[in-house]
Amino acid sequence: MRRLSTRRFCALVSICLSLEPAIAQTTTARIVKAGNAFLATLDEKQRQTVTFAFDDEKQRQRWSNLPTSFVQRGGISLKQMNAPQRDAALALVSSALSPRGFEKVEQIMEGDEVLKSGEGNNPMFGKDLYFISLLGKPSEKDPWMLQFGGHHLALNITIAGEQGILTPTLTGAQPGLFTKDGKTVRPLGQESDKAFALLSALDEKQRKQAILGYRLVDLVLGPGQDGKTIQPEGLKASAMNESQRAMLVGLISEWANIIHESAAAARMAEIKAGLDETWFAWSGPATVTPGKNIAAYYRIQGPKLVIEYAPQRLGGDPSMHIHTMYRDPTNDYGRKAPAK
Amino acid sequence: MRNTLPAAAAILLSLGVPGSAHRLDEYLQATIISVEKDHVQAFMRLIPGVAVTAIVIPSIDTNGDGIISDTERQSYAQRVLGDLSLSIDGHPLKLRLGPVGGTGIGEMKEGLGEIRIEFTADLPRGNGSGRRLIFENHHQSRIAAYLVNCLVPRNKAIQVTAQNRNEDQSYYQLDYVQAGSRSDPRASLGAIALLFSAGLVLLLRLRARSGVLPRMTANELLEDKSKC
C-alpha cells in the first residue's frame, strides 16, 4: 500500500477533526488533541526526551539557524521516529499552523533536502533532521509550548488558552529557489516579492528615508538575542499612504499568518494597532531579477514587532540563502501569558 | 580578502567541511550599545568565518596550544578594546572591560565559534541636553564585517534623535537628548518660569501691601500658578 504523503495525512487529520462535535472544536482543543495524540505514539523514554518544563529557559533558547549537528536541539528528530510517530508529530505542527504556514515549513525542510543532495548527500542536512519538543503539557487552559525546528527553521509556538503566540520564530531558505516535481519553489518568495513591491511603491523622498546608507551582513536580533529592542530606523508607516500601509501589512502577514487563523487574526489586529509606530528599513540592492529573491536586507520594527530578512553571502548568491527573524519584544515565548 | 572565496572554498574542501552553512571570509563583529544616564554599556559578539580562522585564532591562542585559556581570552579582549574608540561630545571615553566569554577553538575552526565581550564607559555630564556619542571599530578591519546598533534606552529621559554610520559600519554616530541635563532647555525654561513667577508674586505682594491690589488677589494668583 502506498504511504500517504505528509500533507495528505495532515489534511485527512484536519478533516477528521473538523467532523467532531462543535463543542470540542476550539482551535486550542484541536491542537491539544493533536499534542496528546503525538505523545501517545511515543514510548516512555521518548516522551521524557520530548517533554520539558514550560519555564525551561535553556530549552526555550535552544534554537538556531544552523544545522542540528552544530547546534544540538532538544526533543527528538523526525529521523528518530517511526512513520506513525512522524505523521503524528507533523500533524501536531500542522494543527498549530495555517495551511500556508505549514506549507512554508514543508518547503523549508524540502529545501534542506535539496541542499543535502547538492552537498553530496551530506548527512548534516535533510528533512528528517527537524526536532520536536513540548514545554509543559498540552492543555486547553494552562500555557504550554511547541517547538519544531532544525536548519533554517525554529518555530516557538506558545499556546495559552485560546491565544497562540509564534514569537520568536526563525525561517530561512537554502536554496532560496529550487524545483520540485517540475515546479519552481521559493519558500520565502512572498517575503521577497512583497518587500520589493513596497520599496518600489515608495516615492523618492520616502525611499531616501527607508534605504539605509550602510551594509547589513546578518540578522541583528537572531538566535541568542532575546529580550533586546534596538532603536528603529528607516521610514515610519505614518509617513506612508494607505496603499503603501496596506502593502506593509501584507508583508508582515507573511510571518504573522504562519500560525493558525484565529491567532494570526489577533496578532494582525495587534500589529495594525501599532502601525503608525512601525518602521520599514532597507539595505542593499534596490533591484531584483524577476522570479528571483532580493539580495537586500530589510527590517520591519513596531512596538510589538521585529521582522528581519537577511540574505547570506556564505555559499555564493545571497538571494539563494536567506535568514529571517520574527519577534515580539514584548511577548517572545508568550511571556505575557499567565504563569502556570 | 573579499575576493578570497575560491581560496576559502579550497580550504573548506580540504577540511571536508561544506561551505554552504558557514560564515566564510568575514569576521563578523556585532556591537549593541546601551546608553544610560551616566554610563554606556556595550555588548560585542565576534564571529570569525571559517576561512579567516587562520588569521584570527593565532591572535587569540597566542601560545598555540590549541586551547583558548581565560588569560588569552582576556588578553585578546583587551586588544580588541584597543582597536575601539568611544567618545562623547568630542571627548574620548575610557573603556572598561567587563565579562568576556566565548567558545573553544574547535567551534571556531568550523565557523561557529565566537568571542563575547562586554565593556562600559562612564559618561561625564554634558553641557547641553543634546549629546553625540561616536563609536569606531577598527579591529581586524581587512576581514571585518561590522554591525552596530543601540538599544532603545531604558531611561525614558534619554531619547535617540539620530543614528549615522559609514558604509561598513566601522563608524557609528548616535545623537540623543537627555532630559534633566544641566543645560537642558526644558529645565532652563522651567527655572526661568519659576523665577518669573516668584518675582511676580513678590511684586504683587509688595503692591498689595501698598494698597494697590487686595492681598487675596495675589494669593489667588499664586494658587492659579500652582495649578499650571
Q: Give residue-wise pLDDT tens across range B142-153.
A: 999 999 999 999
- Those residues whose C-beta lies under 8 Å from the C-beta of residue A303, and which sit 6 or more positions away, are A274, A277, A278, A330
Shortest CA gap A231–chain B (Å)? 5
Report pLDDT for B108.
87
Asked whether residue B138 carries a pLDDT value surpassing 80, the answer given is yes
Q: Could you tell me if A248 and A328 lie in one domain?
A: yes
pLDDT tens digits, B53-90: 999 999 999 999 999 999 999 999 999 999 999 999 99
Residue A79: inside a domain, yes or no?
A: yes
Q: Could you tell me if A124 and A13 lie in one domain?
A: yes
* CB contact (8 A) between residue A220 and residue B149: yes
Q: Could you tell me if A69 and A159 lie in one domain?
A: yes
Residue A1: inside a domain, yes or no?
A: no
Residue A339: inside a domain, yes or no?
A: no
Residue A340: inside a domain, yes or no?
A: no
Q: Could you tell me if A191 and A168 lie in one domain?
A: no
**For A234, which residue in chain B has the nearest alpha carbon?**
B163
| Domain limits for position A115 | 6-176
Report pLDDT for B197.
61
Shortest CA gap B143–chain A (Å)? 13
Boundary residue ending a domain (A126, A158, A176): A176
Q: How many CB pairs under 8 A join A and B?
A: 73
Q: Which residues of chain A have pLDDT under 70?
A: 1-24, 314-315, 338-340
pLDDT tens digits, B40-49: 999 999 999 8
Q: Could you tell me if A172 and A215 lie in one domain?
A: no
Q: Could you tell me if A151 and A190 lie in one domain?
A: no
Pull the grid cell for residue A226: 532575546
Q: Could you tell me if A86 and A201 lie in one domain?
A: no
Mean of per-residue pLDDT scores for chain B: 80
- CB of A228 less than 8 A from some CB of B: yes
* CB contact (8 A) between residue B147 and residue A314: no
What residues 169-208 of chain A have any CB closer than 8 A to a CB of chain B? 174
Please calculate the CA angle A74-A230-A250 and round it to the nearest 5 degrees: 80
- Reported as a pLDDT band with limits 50, 70 and 90, residue B156 is very high
Asked whether residue B113 carries a pLDDT value surpassing 60, the answer given is yes
Report pLDDT for A68.
86
Asked whether residue B217 carries a pLDDT value surpassing 90, the answer given is no
In sequence order, what DSSP letters do the residues of B14-32 get, joined into one string?
HHT--GGGS--S-EEEEEE
- Reported as a pLDDT band with limits 50, 70 and 90, residue B11 is very low
Report pLDDT for A9.
57
**Coil, strand or helix: which one is B40?**
strand
* Amino acid residing at B70: D
Of B20, B152, B166, the CB nearest to A119: B20
Look at chain A and report how many structural domains it folds into. Answer: 2
**Coil, strand or helix: which one is A243?**
helix
Residue A126: inside a domain, yes or no?
A: yes
Q: Could you tell me if A192 and A164 lie in one domain?
A: no
- Reported as a pLDDT band with limits 50, 70 and 90, residue B180 is confident
Shortest CA gap A135–chain B (Å)? 27
Q: Could you tell me if A15 and A58 lie in one domain?
A: yes
- Reported as a pLDDT band with limits 50, 70 and 90, residue B198 is low
SS (H, E, C) B79-134: HHHHCEEEEECCEECCCEEEEEEECCHHHHHCCCCCEEEEEEEECCCCCCCEEEEE
Residue A153: inside a domain, yes or no?
A: yes
Boundary residue ending a domain (A134, A158, A176): A176
**Preferred mutation among A129, A174, A217 to probe B, highest tally of B CBs within 10 A:** A217
- Reported as a pLDDT band with limits 50, 70 and 90, residue B179 is confident
Boundary residue ending a domain (A176, A194, A222): A176
Q: Could you tell me if A148 and A248 lie in one domain?
A: no
Residue B33 bridge partners (DSSP): B42, B150
Residue A90: inside a domain, yes or no?
A: yes
Residue A294: inside a domain, yes or no?
A: yes
Report pLDDT for A5.
58
- Those residues whose C-beta lies under 8 Å from the C-beta of residue A194, and which sit 6 or more positions away, are A247, A250, A251, A254
